[in-house]
Structure 1
């Protein structure tokens, strides 16, 4: 502990129960040598840099046969904690401790870690289609069709339901489109658990914490009081669902410094069938069933309710999303 780095041992005990059990499903993690990950990423070269954050950089790498040769072996994402500062180390410890207990198709899979000397890294399955944020961007060459967006929304809700139904429940605390990664067939995976916390238990209704996360996704009560609950995640999910509907960023910034949050701008239109077209992504609106879009917008509006007591649980959100599909298939 003298170097400020905790010795974290991932959980290795396995629990009983099926996929939808409240129990965790720990899986065995590999402990990687630094030299292996250095070779896998081409000495952490800039051409393999896949993403950057305040406390870490993410590199694409290849493990296995001829590790140092791009395209050979298993593609992985190596999250390398920056050496300076304690926040990155805290987030590394937290992410390792929490993710070592997870196994769900809509949560990113942690394959292993490196804790050698001063080096701290996490190794994940590589998501070849990048983040949801990138795919919804106006600069993206791909156009994500409406049916695919609905599938992504349901997958995201399934992943968050899994986290909230853990014992104890897990509050992600930073649900945003940049933290939703997409695999080869656009299955969404919730990622980046550095800020996550185990939720309140017993008769406690909330956790009192510093306000951490990302602008544009904060629930109003979290900003006002620092009270963190499962409903905090539900609000953030509502913003992501709104991004899926609109194709717009959570916060729009103007050259003069003015800014407006997507949720503030869009909320008045979500429950108005005659105005909803203002919110729907213009790139796909011709192929959108407007009744289906209105049902989707209603769910978003419920998630963005100012009073957390009136927001739905994530299970209710998932059931509502599934109901949209069954309802419109029935009337098709």
Structure 2
């Protein structure tokens, strides 16, 4: 497996403040990686997409990891499937149809929903449903409630509203209304291209200055994210 020198996206979001161009680029790359998995025949479902399973290379490009660890088996009960997800700490990324009476097995819309939560996490650099119990999260999601858009930083550029629109489309309560990753690749690329300007990722202001590390934002052509 290729060594990913900058660890997980989860850790980066907690330790550094990302400039908006980099946030948009990362969102686009996540869509690209998931589109690759879903374009296989048959589609490879991740079912475990979250920021701790998104790794970063030397230039802070993303790669999707840990796909295929959670499986839906024919005849599996929803309860057993939920137990798999909960044990792995995925509760915030699970779409509402997973814990309803819907008899259908998870499909590509499952991963699309999870990507919407990942998008929110990248844009806000906060944890979804922070401080909420598992029961509370399940109740919120079943009622159509999602992480608050009000938590978006005040410094957000006007283009962020377009990305928020894509995000909301991804986490739609109705799985039939969610887009395919082939759609989000195109849409996130269009928004990301607007802000392709050089900048820096700066450590959070409350970090000790001696501990700060600034990475140049290299806007080289975005590569196709493939399984590692």
Asked if Structure 1 and Structure 2 have the same fold, meaning a TM-score greater than 0.5 normalized by the shorter chain, the answer is: yes
Partner residue, 1:236 = 114
Partner residue, 2:214 = none
Partner residue, 2:180 = 313
Distance in 2 separating the partners of 1:258 and 1:143: 31
Partner residue, 1:300 = 167
- Give the Å deviation of 1:266: 3.3
| Number of aligned residue pairs | 182
**Greater relative contact order (Cα < 8 A, sep 6+):** 2
1:160-203: CA deviation from partner (whole Å, max 9, x where unpaired): 00000001110000000110011111111100124255999xxx
Q: Where does structure 2 lack aligned partners over 5 or more consecutive residues?
A: 197-228
The change in CA–CA distance for 1:187 and 1:265 in structure 2 (over 3 A counts) is same
Distance in 2 separating the partners of 1:148 and 1:328: 9
Q: Which has the larger radius of gyration?
A: 1
Partner residue, 1:279 = 151
The change in CA–CA distance for 1:236 and 1:265 in structure 2 (over 3 A counts) is closer
1:96-134: CA deviation from partner (whole Å, max 9, x where unpaired): xxxxxxxxxxxxxxxxxxxxxxxxxxxx22211111111
Q: Is the 8 A contact 1:164 1:171 kept in 2?
A: yes
Distance in 1 separating the partners of 2:134 and 2:70: 31
Distance in 1 separating the partners of 2:63 and 2:71: 18
Q: Which has the higher strand share?
A: 1
Distance in 2 separating the partners of 1:321 and 1:311: 15
Distance in 2 separating the partners of 1:189 and 1:294: 25
Partner residue, 2:8 = 131
Residue 252 of structure 1: SS of its match in structure 2?
coil
- Give the Å deviation of 1:223: 2.1
Alpha-carbon RMSD? 2.9
Partner residue, 1:166 = 40
